[in-house]
Amino acid sequence: MAEKTEKKEKKKQAKAYKPGKMCPKCGSRMAEHSDRYSCGKCSYTEFKSQKKSGA
């Protein structure tokens, strides 16, 4: 029975809430992709700026 109580104690911890970027057109939360932010409600897309190393 001691094994069952140990398993119950090892529950996953909830991830901390991370506020996302808000859509400037409609005000809903935008989805974050690797290269852009996109709004599923109004289809607004904002690309992330890419750092270019100049030589």
**pLDDT < 70: residue spans in the chain:** 1-10, 51-55
Q: Which pLDDT belongs to residue 9?
A: 64
User: Is residue 52 situated within a structural domain?
Assistant: no
CB pairs under 8 A, 24+ apart, for 34-37?
none
How many folded domains does the chain comprise?
Answer: 1
pLDDT at 33: 93
Domain boundaries, position 40: 21-47
Is there a domain that residue 9 lies in? no
Please report whether residue 43 resides in a domain. Answer: yes
Quick one: pLDDT at residue 49?
A: 87
Q: What are phi and psi of 7, to 5 degrees?
A: -65, -40
Q: Note the pTM of the prediction, 2 decimals.
A: 0.57
